[in-house]
Amino acid sequence: MDYEMDIEPTGPQVTVREAEPYRVDFKLSSVDLSFANSLRRTILSEIPTMAIDLVEVEKNTSVLPDEFLAHRLGLIPLNSRNCDQDVEYTRDCDCEDHCARCSVTLTLYARCTVEDVMHVHARDLIVSGERANEWVGNPVVTDAQGLGPLICKLRRGQELKMTCIAKKGIAKEHAKWAPTAAIGFEYDPHNNLKHVDYWYEEDPAKEWPPSHNAGWEAPAPPDQPFDYDAEPNNFYLDVESIGNLEPDMIVQQGISVLQRKLASIISSLSGTEGADRNGIVDDDMMGVRSPDAYEPPEGIDGGFTSYAGGGASAWGASAATPYGATPYGAGGFGF
Amino acid sequence: MGPGIPSTAIFTLNKEDHTLGNLLRSQLLKNPRVLFAGYKVPHPLVPKVELRVQTDGEIAPKEAVTTACNELVKDLGILSREFTKEYELRKMVGATQQQQPNGNPDGQ
């Protein structure tokens, strides 16, 4: 390339500082801020994982209402290893409603027959029937006793019997599909670039203790004039997994999701030469484009969303919501 | 071709957000043939990004965007390999430290 290669002579550099079973902390260098931030954003919201999305309640005599339990069930982390390749999105699947290729069925049956309070945990969710691979859909259990998150407590005679359908999704649609608990992201720990204007009482240096990344960079000498052209190029990321994906897989998948996004732009730009003279890039051409930039497309529910779509809702009847086949009913911004 | 200015185009990316908008914008600006690159998300509730690109006329805006995408895909590929390499290395170091007691000076 005939570009001025001033900051990227060899491409991105990585230094893994800490690797733990649920965490990876690394330094990303020789990239620009937008690159690091895009990676952070994709990891945060666009990595596919599995989560319970549909609950059929057969019996619930506990103190918690059905929808309360359904919400709790949705938030339980489920193993999602290789789900990006092995599991289909339900909306893209050929099946009628859902099947073994696009979902995992978990059953929960608990009945308290003793006098004390009985605890129902995630480990009581039993995978039933076929599934895409041997891991997908297993509740993530990380505590020493091997119980997993608490779902509900039952008194004597109370009973829970439900079937849960776990589906593949991304955190942009619902946070229950998030692969990470948090991502630490920091650059320029000494604030040499003055991107941050610290609030302070008397002395910012005293009131803002240096971050643990500060040792990895030198502060600018105080007598040096401010460099207006300086750009950040070291980024400190700390990816903390929930347990549904290995931390290194989270990063790798973030990268490949981003690559696929870019690839779809390349293919839509190079594909139909005459057809996109307006430069429209649209993956699957669903959704009506509004001629006016500020006008919401076709009322509110006619358009497109980030979540891909089409297909009937899980309740059968009422057709495609703008969020694809979400079971949350039609119309509106269903969150 | 957009706003009636030569070598200028506005690309509309549906179902995308700042993740791609900002990434492409900054990559395009590294290309000396690109005179202008900017993006906007016209409405926060509408998942759409508009990317405006103006080139010096030597290349079409579309070419500039395709090149930018290709370079980013390439960079992400390098990142993926670098990360795998470094992660495996780190795991090996971690394993040897666990084998020998007191081997981890900053043990937590």
Question: Which of A41, A24, A256, A12 is closest to B79 using CA atoms?
Answer: A12
Q: What is the pLDDT of residue B6?
A: 87
Q: Which of A313, A312, A309, A310 minimizes the C-alpha distance to A327?
A: A313
Q: Where in A193-295 does DSSP place strands (E)?
A: 234-241, 280-281
Whether A216 and A263 share a structural domain: yes
Confidence of residue B89 (pLDDT cuts 50, 70, 90): very high
**A64 and A25 belong to one structural domain:** no
Which residues in chain A touch residue B70, judged by CB atoms under 8 angstroms apart?
266
> Residue A284 pLDDT > 90, yes or no?
no
**A81 pLDDT more than 50:** yes
Q: Is residue A298 part of a domain?
A: no
Q: What percent of chain A has pLDDT over 70?
A: 78
Domain check: are A39 and A55 in the same one?
A: no
Q: Is residue A73 pLDDT above 90, yes or no?
A: yes
For residue A305, the chain B residues in CB contact (below 8 A) are 15, 47
- The whole-angstrom separation of Cα A60 and Cα A323 is 29
- Give the residue from A170, A203, A229 where a domain finishes: A170
pLDDT for B9-28, tens place per residue?
999 999 999 999 999 999 99
Specify whether the backbone of A138 is left (phi greater than 0), alpha (psi in -120 to 50) or beta. beta
Residue A68 φ/ψ, nearest 5 degrees: -65, -45
Q: Do B75 and A8 touch (CB under 8 A)?
A: yes
A163: CATH: 2.170.120.12
| A157, A75: one domain | yes
Indicate yes or no: CB of A281 within 8 angstroms of CB of B66: no
Q: Is residue A27 in a domain?
A: yes
Could you tell me which chain B residue has the CA closest to the CA of A20? B91
Q: Are strands A280-281 and B8-14 parallel, antiparallel or unpaired?
A: parallel
Structural domains counted in chain A? 2
For residue A287, what are its two tokens? Answer: 């959704």
Domain end point (choices A251, A267, A283): A267
Place of tokens 């484009």: A289
Instruction: Give the class (CATH, top level) of B8-100.
Output: alpha beta
Closest-CA distance, B100 to chain A, in angstroms, reads 18
State whether A157 and A125 are in the same domain.
yes
In a domain, A200, yes or no: yes
In a domain, A152, yes or no: yes
Given A267, A288, A308, the domain boundary residue is A267
CA closest to B87 among chain A residues? A16
- Put simply, whether A26 touches B (Cβ < 8 Å) is yes
pLDDT band (50, 70, 90) for residue A272: low
Residues, chain B, total?
108
Beta partners for residue A4, in sequence order: none
- Stretch A285-294: mean pLDDT: 42
Query: Residues in chain A, how many?
Result: 335
For residue A53, the model assigns a pLDDT of: 96
pLDDT for B96 equals: 78
Tell me the three state secondary structure of residue A251. Answer: helix
Mean confidence (pLDDT) of chain A = 84
Provide the pLDDT confidence category of residue B99 given band limits of 50, 70 and 90: low
Residue A30 C-alpha from the chain's centroid: 26
Is the domain of A163 the same as that of A94? yes
**Position A117 in a domain:** yes
In a domain, A326, yes or no: no
Q: What is the pLDDT of residues A297-331, one digit of tens each?
A: 444 444 444 454 444 444 544 444 445 444 444 44
Rounded distance between C-alpha atoms, residue A205 and residue A190, angstroms: 10
Q: Do B15 and A289 touch (CB under 8 A)?
A: no
Domain with A205 in it: what CATH number? 3.30.1360.10
Residue A96 has pLDDT above 80, yes or no: yes
pLDDT surpassing 50 at residue A276:
no
Residue A10: predicted pLDDT = 79
Which residue range forms the structural domain that includes residue A82? 50-170
pLDDT of residue A271: 77
pLDDT tens digit string along A104-154?
999 999 999 999 999 999 999 999 999 999 999 999 999 999 999 999 999
Residue A225: per-residue pLDDT: 93
Asked whether residue A219 is domain-assigned, the answer is yes
Residue-level pLDDT at B3: 61
Dihedral sign, Cα of residue A109, residue A115, residue A120, residue A126: negative
Predicted ipTM? Answer: 0.88
A325 within a domain of the structure (yes/no): no
Q: Which DSSP state fits A4? A: -
For residue A247, count other CB atoms closer than 10 A to its CB: 24
How far apart, in whole angstroms, are the C-alpha atoms of residue A246 and residue A80? 9
Q: Name residue A85's amino acid.
A: Q
pLDDT of A310 reads 43
Confidence of residue B98 (pLDDT cuts 50, 70, 90): low
